[in-house]
């Protein structure tokens, strides 16, 4: 199968960027011919914010370049990982014109929420889900704290919803959890096109040994990640349980300051992936206090693969991925006291951690291996091709404005 995979990279490399590369590698290792087309948000500085905002609604540049690629070689599927903001939904129309099936991964909640998190002020917010115009998100400046930026994202969503893009120009969506699938269907995506396929890790890592005696946090140090709740919980613990924190973010200075006041908390900052996996191998538990729904957290899958149980906030993806008492422990999101109680239960002497480690690894083998993931890919791709062949309207060029000049910096195409 020949696949064109599209991805718009973020300024700060994150899980979506990693997943894009891993999925391309997975497909190639199973004999698929994968061509990648990438944009990078570093270009925004050259393009300018106003032009980027306009292009996020409809990018003539992407439309022209993608049609050119699809016309030059035969492709079975165009798989879009992330289109925002530089690629834009114009990519779907380019594929439609060339008769290529379109698959869109739903790695965040951008189609339902301006910042893509379904959260506000550190808590869940669904005020814009299912709304024709997400005006509340604009008024509140939900996208990066900017009313102007929020208006730009809202314009992209509203314009394409009115145009029927989400309904008609995508042949299959990939939701990463059953929870997120239900949420997207609730928000208006066609149920028959939204498929469930989790993330995976390629290649499969070796199981860890545990025994390090510490809990481990890996992630961005930001309010929505439940970092404050985690630190508050550690202050409440009766026992001296070491917590190692890997990551950086807007709360770095605050976390470092609070760690100085708590001898059980150690801030390690950014670490190389190999070092992170070594820490995860030795950890007794991964802690995952995120206060938003998440997509399908790769760090949880990595933890299960290593056989490391997870202490997680019981919300969204984490509540679906962790079996309380078997592969980890769940607590009420944002509740430091309940979090502390869960940590206490996890480190109690009567807990059979060896059995929990075995169960965690088995969950990974049952749900998140690359073989299972590849099989799911093929089923979804075939469903998309069948939908495309069933007669979806392919007259969808919407008469956009003149494409940007050839002097624009070219995106990466490999």
Domain boundaries, the chain: 2-107+164-201+371-395, 215-366
pLDDT for 410 beyond 70: no
Q: How confident is the model at residue 391 (pLDDT cuts 50, 70, 90)?
A: low
Provide the pLDDT for residue 252: 97
3-class DSSP assignment, residue 247: coil
The DSSP line for 122-140 is: TEE--TTTT-SS-HHHHHT
Nearest alpha carbon to residue 86 among 122, 54, 129, 132: 54
Q: How many residues does the chain have?
A: 414
pLDDT for 413 beyond 60: no
Q: How confident is the model at residue 122 (pLDDT cuts 50, 70, 90)?
A: confident
Whether 215-366 and 2-107+164-201+371-395 are alike in CATH topology: the answer is: yes
Run of H or E residues at 95: helix 90-97
Cis check: omega of the bond before 203, within 30 degrees of 0:
yes
Cβ–Cβ under 8 Å, residues 88 and 58: yes
Average pLDDT for 189-200: 96
Strands (E), 300-363: 310-313, 328-331
User: Which two structure tokens, joined as six digits, stand for 19?
Assistant: 């997943």
- Compute the distance between CA of residue 6 and CA of residue 36 in angstroms, rounded to an integer: 6
* Alpha-carbon distance values, 207 to 26, 322, 361, 365 (Å): 20, 18, 7, 11
Average pLDDT for 137-162: 95
Per-residue pLDDT tens digits for 25-59: 999 999 999 999 999 988 888 888 888 888 999 99
pLDDT for 395 beyond 70: no
Q: How confident is the model at residue 281 (pLDDT cuts 50, 70, 90)?
A: very high
Average pLDDT for 291-305: 95
Nearest alpha carbon to residue 32 among 5, 6, 69: 5
Q: How confident is the model at residue 201 (pLDDT cuts 50, 70, 90)?
A: confident
- Compute the distance between CA of residue 146 and CA of residue 152 in angstroms, rounded to an integer: 10
**Rg value, the chain, Cα:** 22
Task: State what percent of residues in the chain have pLDDT above 90.
Answer: 84
> End-to-end CA distance of the chain, in Å?
17
Phi and psi of 102, rounded to 5°? -115, 130
Q: Which fold has domain 215-366?
A: Rossmann fold (3.40.50)
Provide the pLDDT for residue 400: 34
Helices (H) and strands (E) counted in the chain, each on its own, are: 17, 15
Nearest alpha carbon to residue 398 among 42, 77, 88: 88
Per-residue pLDDT tens digits for 299-340: 999 999 999 999 999 999 999 999 999 999 999 999 999 999
The pTM of the full predicted model, rounded to 2 decimals, is 0.89
Query: 119-120 and 123-124: which strand pairing?
Result: antiparallel
- Compute the distance between CA of residue 179 and CA of residue 199 in angstroms, rounded to an integer: 14
Phi and psi of 116, rounded to 5°? 85, 15
Cβ–Cβ under 8 Å, residues 283 and 299: no
Beta carbons within 8 Å of 250's beta carbon, 6+ residues apart: 221, 222, 223
Architecture of domain 2-107+164-201+371-395: 3-Layer(aba) Sandwich (3.40)
Provide the pLDDT for residue 397: 41
pLDDT for 399 beyond 60: no
247-269 burial by CB neighbour count: b if 16+ within 10 A, else e? Answer: bbeebbeebeebbeeeebbebee
Provide the pLDDT for residue 226: 95
pLDDT for 350 beyond 80: yes
Beta carbons within 8 Å of 326's beta carbon, 6+ residues apart: 356, 359
pLDDT for 193 beyond 70: yes
Provide the pLDDT for residue 270: 95
Cβ–Cβ under 8 Å, residues 290 and 311: no
Beta carbons within 8 Å of 199's beta carbon, 6+ residues apart: 19, 176, 295, 296, 298, 301, 368, 373
Return the sign of the alpha-carbon dihedral for residues 84, 87, 90, 93. Answer: negative
Nearest alpha carbon to residue 307 among 339, 332, 284: 284
Average pLDDT for 239-263: 96
Provide the pLDDT for residue 394: 45
| Average pLDDT in the chain | 92
Provide the pLDDT for residue 414: 54
Residue 297: exposure state from Cβ atoms within 10 A (0-12, 13-18, ≥19):
buried
Q: How confident is the model at residue 211 (pLDDT cuts 50, 70, 90)?
A: very high
Average pLDDT for 349-374: 95
The DSSP line for 21-66 is: HHHHHHHHHTT-EEEEEEEEGGGHHHH-HHHHHHHHH--HHHHHHH
């Amino acid at each position: 199968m020949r696949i064109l995979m599209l991805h718009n990279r973020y300024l700060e490399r994150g899980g979506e960027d990693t997943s894009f590369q891993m999925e391309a590698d997975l497909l190639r290792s199973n004999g698929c011919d994968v061509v990648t087309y990438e944009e990078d948000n570093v270009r925004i500085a050259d393009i300018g914010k106003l032009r980027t905002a306009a292009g996020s609604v409809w990018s003539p540049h992407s439309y022209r370049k993608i049609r050119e690629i699809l016309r030059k070689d035969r492709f079975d599927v165009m798989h879009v990982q992330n289109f925002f903001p530089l690629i834009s939904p114009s990519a779907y129309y380019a594929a439609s014109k060339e008769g290529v099936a379109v698959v869109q991964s739903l790695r965040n909640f951008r189609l339902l929420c301006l910042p893509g998190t379904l959260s506000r002020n550190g808590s869940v917010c669904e005020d814009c889900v299912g709304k024709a115009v997400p005006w509340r998100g604009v008024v509140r400046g939900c996208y990066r704290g900017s009313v102007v930026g929020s208006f730009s994202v809202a314009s992209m969503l509203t314009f394409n919803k009115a145009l029927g893009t989400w309904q008609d120009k995508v042949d299959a969506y990939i939701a990463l959890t059953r929870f997120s699938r239900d949420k997207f269907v609730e928000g208006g995506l066609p149920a028959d096109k939204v498929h469930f396929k989790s993330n995976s890790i390629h290649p499969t890592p070796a199981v860890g040994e545990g025994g390090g005696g510490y809990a481990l946090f890996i992630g961005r140090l930001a309010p929505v990640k439940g970092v404050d709740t985690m630190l508050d919980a550690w202050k409440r613990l009766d026992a001296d349980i070491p917590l190692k924190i890997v990551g950086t973010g807007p709360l770095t200075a605050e976390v470092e300051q609070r760690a100085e006041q708590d001898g059980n908390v150690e801030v390690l900052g950014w670490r190389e992936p190999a070092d992170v996996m070594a820490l995860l191998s030795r950890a007794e538990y991964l802690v995952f206090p995120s206060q938003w729904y998440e997509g399908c957290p790769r760090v949880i899958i990595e933890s299960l693969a290593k056989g490391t149980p997870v202490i997680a906030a019981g919300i969204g993806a984490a509540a679906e991925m962790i079996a309380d008492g078997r592969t980890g422990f769940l607590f009420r999101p944002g509740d430091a006291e309940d979090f502390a109680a869960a940590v206490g239960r996890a480190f109690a002497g009567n807990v059979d951690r060896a059995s929990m480690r075995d169960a965690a690894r088995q969950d990974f083998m049952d749900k998140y291996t690359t073989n299972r993931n590849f099989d799911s890919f093929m089923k979804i791709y075939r469903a998309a091709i069948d939908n495309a062949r069933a007669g979806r309207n392919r007259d969808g060029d919407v008469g956009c404005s003149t494409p940007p000049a050839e002097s624009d910096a070219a995106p990466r195409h490999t």
